Amino acid sequence: MSEESWTGEGGWLSAHLFHQGDLSTVLVDLVGPLVDELRVRALADHSFFLRYWDGGPHIRLRVLPRDPSVAAETARLIEDRVRAHFGRYPAPDVLSQEAYLRSAREIGAWEGVVPTQLMYPNNSVRFIPYAREYGRYGSGKAIEAVEEHFVESSALALAVLRTETGQNRRETAVLCYLMLAWFLASDDVLGLAWRQLAKAPPSADDARALYERQRAQVLTLAARMRTAAQGWRKLPAGSTLRQWASSVSRVVDLLRTHHDEEGGATPPAESVADLCAHLFANRIGVRIDAEGSLRYLAARAITEPAAPEGA
């Protein structure tokens, strides 16, 4: 790759870290220290990541070099650190090309994505140009604000991955962040919740049973998140809830006043905030089916006639 082509849209580098092992471990043991090193070396201060399936399970690490002149050096350092880590801690090949393609076609059909036909090698890194999703997030200052949120969300996700090792606690974090995003961004959160329930699949019986078992706890969380949304600036400085609320609020406030300079449509703040919560779940490794159950719990609590005061 030539030096001029290292970066994609917005000047971001995009390294895809293909690994068929525990991606949470890769994030904590490789990505976290790597982004710290990039900052110490004055190469890059901003980065974000997500997990994805296309081409094989991998982490998409986006890094914004401080200056275009250090993009190649930044990419080489990323490549060196990833290759060294995967060399020391290789994941076994557990996914065949045939199994990948079956899964990719199924997921791709559900997401409306044409999948990569050939799986990338396990324990490898590829630089694939970053393409902004203008249709989802808008352009100009809107997409820049969303990318800034992605940076903050990724930092929060790394903190959760380092400290909350149990899946139940991670799912509780997603439930709280999802409801907080809804309360911050929606002008009709009750209508949003009813629409969410209308999308519940026929297989949602497990989620219904889970809600009945945890109804009191979920209602309490819903009340707390509504209160937090109304007065998030009063939350303890440095708390993760305040950091999340501050980050989402900046995106919401900008989208509500943003006028696209190129005449494009600005997406609704509600839909972008909802996507932000979805991507946080992705970042901390909450599976899409588990996230669906959490969305059901959130919507049930918000539409509950007997909700506690404040919910």
The rounded distance, in Å, linking the Cα atoms of 185 and 167 is 27
Which residues partner with 125 through β-bridges?
17
Q: What is the pLDDT of residue 260?
A: 67
Domain with CATH 3.30.70 in the chain: 3-127
Backbone phi, psi, residue 50, to 5°:
-155, 165
Q: What is the pLDDT of residue 311?
A: 45
pTM of the model: 0.94
The rounded distance, in Å, linking the Cα atoms of 142 and 148 is 10
Q: Are 115 and 54 in contact (CB under 8 A)?
A: yes
The rounded distance, in Å, linking the Cα atoms of 58 and 186 is 33
The rounded distance, in Å, linking the Cα atoms of 264 and 85 is 43
Report the interhelical angle of 205-230 vs 240-257 (nearest 10°). 80
Residue 76: name the closest of 34, 36, 24, 111 by CA: 34
HEC-encoded secondary structure of the chain: CCHHHCCCHHHCEEEEEECCCCHHHHHHHHHHHHHHHHHHCCCEEEEEEEEECCCCCEEEEEEEECCHHHHHHHHHHHHHHHHHHHHHCCCCCCCCHHHHHHHHHHHHHHHCCCCCCCCCCCCEEEECCCCCCHHHHCCCHHHHHHHHHHHHHHHHHHHHHHHCCCHHHHHHHHHHHHHHHHHHHCCCHHHHHHHHHHCCCCCCHHHHHHHHHHHHHHHHHHHHHHHHHHCHHHCCCCCHHHHHHHHHHHHHHHHHHCCCCCCCCCCCHHHHHHHHHHHHHHHCCCCHHHHHHHHHHHHHHHHCCCCCCCC
Is domain 3-127 classified as CATH 3.30.70?
A: yes
Centre a 10 Å sphere on the Cβ of residue 234 and count the other Cβ atoms it contains: 9
Q: What is the pLDDT of residue 200?
A: 81
Residue 47: name the closest of 81, 20, 22 by CA: 81
Q: What is the pLDDT of residue 261?
A: 63
Q: What is the mean pLDDT of each run of 10 residues along the chain (311 residues)?
A: 64 98 98 98 98 98 97 97 98 97 94 94 97 93 97 98 90 98 97 93 82 95 97 94 98 88 80 98 95 96 72 45
> What contacts 37, CB < 8 A, 6 or more positions away?
77, 81
